[in-house]
Amino acid sequence: ETAGEEDHSTYNLGVLKKPVYALTDEEIIANGGRSGLPNMGYTDTITNRRPALGDYIDEKLNEQQVTPYANDTQLHYRYEGEGSIASDLSSIESIHYQDENDFRFLYSWGPKFSRLADLYAGGVDYDDLDNA
């Protein structure tokens, strides 16, 4: 259920970034919110460029309600099982696999692995090894 979790097209993290200049609460309250802002004659444009966070969130929520994403929809698959063209997974159990404990293939690895092949393929009695 991870479809639609990564929303790269409508989420703008830039709106949440902190401004370059740092203001303390005391400066903002004492000077009516003007202290610390660059004084270039257009200080109002700095605050006017950025929408209010609450308005931005409301706008994005409304957009999401209007435009649903295809990734957020429930996917419906055709029936698979007994009687379908695809059959079912229980047929996998019927396939004959090599026994997990059959180590006779180790003999084909050559003389370097003959002791290992004897140990695992049943050519050596384990009790005899303990007494040796």
pLDDT of residue 130: 56
pLDDT of residue 101: 72
Look-up: residue for tokens 């050596």? 124
Distance between CA atoms of residues 47 and 51, nearest Å: 8
Question: Phi-psi region for residue 83, left (φ > 0), alpha (ψ -120 to 50) or beta?
Answer: left
| Domains of the chain, residue spans | 1-87, 99-131
Q: What is the DSSP letter of 102?
A: -
pLDDT of residue 122: 72
In tens digits, the chain (132 residues) has pLDDT values of: 455 566 666 667 777 776 666 666 666 666 655 545 555 554 444 555 666 788 888 888 887 665 555 666 676 666 666 666 666 566 566 555 556 677 888 888 889 988 888 888 776 555 555 555
Distance between CA atoms of residues 84 and 108, nearest Å: 43
pLDDT of residue 22: 62
Query: Global pTM?
Result: 0.22
Residues 6+ apart with CB under 8 A from 53: 15, 16
